[in-house]
Amino acid sequence: MFLEEGVSENIGCHQLIIKALRDGKHPQAPEINTFQPTSVMGLFTLEADTNLIFIQKADIEGYPWRNQMAFPGGNSDPEDLSREATALRELEEELHIPKEEVEMIGSIGHFQTINNRDIEAFLGIWKKTGDISHNISNILFDKSEISRVINIPLRYLIKVHKDNNFIGRLPGIYELTYPYQDVVVWGVTAKIIHHLMEIIIPRIS
């Protein structure tokens, strides 16, 4: 297996992800125009064992997304030229990672939430080099909205997807979870991860 045997150079992994995205079929935007357009950015890191960056929402009573795991992102603004521009703007606003540090891979489709948001999910690679733990720990973020930044190994997400027999089926919201250490990825973020795993895993055999 490409990833399970351990790859010393992550360039092969990134090439695999790019090819999987370009060849894959992704969820289309809803036909009805009643959803709030929203974009998120799934950002991979430049390290030997590729990781994906998540944020954990702030632990504030009454905050609708309290403690939830998510990708950086938010609603489209009128000045945004595209949904991709929204994702890059939100990434910089939330984590102070400028678009110049991002190699864009592209969109992996649209995912709707129960509160009428149409989320278009984008993938990119954080081009920042050096020690990833140092880079992650030095990310500046708004503590009124975000409690911490967490990087989860792609290898680990693939293992959870396989171990829970998610391959080839989309479980319900209560079953579709990706636990990691003391957090759990669930909801629409888990749906995005599920789709990503479904387009990547067939290419690593």
- The domain ranges of the chain are 11-203
Residue 111, pLDDT score: 95
Higher-pLDDT residue of 202 and 63 is 202
Residue 124, pLDDT score: 95
Q: What pTM does this model have?
A: 0.89
- Confidence band of 5 (pLDDT split at 50, 70, 90): very low
pLDDT at 43 over 50: yes
Question: 36: which 2 tokens?
Answer: 């709030």
* Burial of residue 156, with CB atoms counted within 10 A of its CB: 0-12 exposed, 13-18 middle, 19 or more buried: middle
Pairing of strands 146-153, 51-57: antiparallel
Question: 80: which 2 tokens?
Answer: 């945004």
- Over residues 69-94, the mean pLDDT reads 93
The residue written with tokens 């399970």 in the block is 4
Cα distance between residue 98 and residue 75, in whole Å? 18
Which of 9-13, 29-33, 38-42 has the largest mean confidence? 38-42
Cα distance between residue 72 and residue 53, in whole Å? 9
Which residues, 6+ apart, have CB-to-CB distance to 8 below 8 Å?
48
CA angle at 160 for the pair 175 and 171, rounded to the nearest 5°:
25
Cα distance between residue 105 and residue 55, in whole Å? 20
Q: Which fold has domain 11-203?
A: Nucleoside Triphosphate Pyrophosphohydrolase (3.90.79)
Residue 6, pLDDT score: 38
Which of 2-6, 147-151, 189-193 has the largest mean confidence? 189-193
pLDDT at 174 over 50: yes
Task: Share the mean pLDDT of the chain.
Answer: 87
Pairing of strands 102-112, 36-45: unpaired
Half-sphere exposure of 134 (CA within 13 A, CB side): 4
- Over residues 44-61, the mean pLDDT reads 84
Cα distance between residue 111 and residue 43, in whole Å? 17
Residue 8, pLDDT score: 39
Half-sphere exposure of 114 (CA within 13 A, CB side): 5
Sign of the torsion angle spanned by Cα atoms 72, 122, 51, 100 = negative
For 107-120, give one letter per residue: b (16+ CB within 10 A) or e.
bbbbbbeeeeebbb
Instruction: Give the single-character DSSP code of 202.
Output: G
Which of 46-55, 126-135, 136-145, 190-199 has the largest mean confidence? 190-199
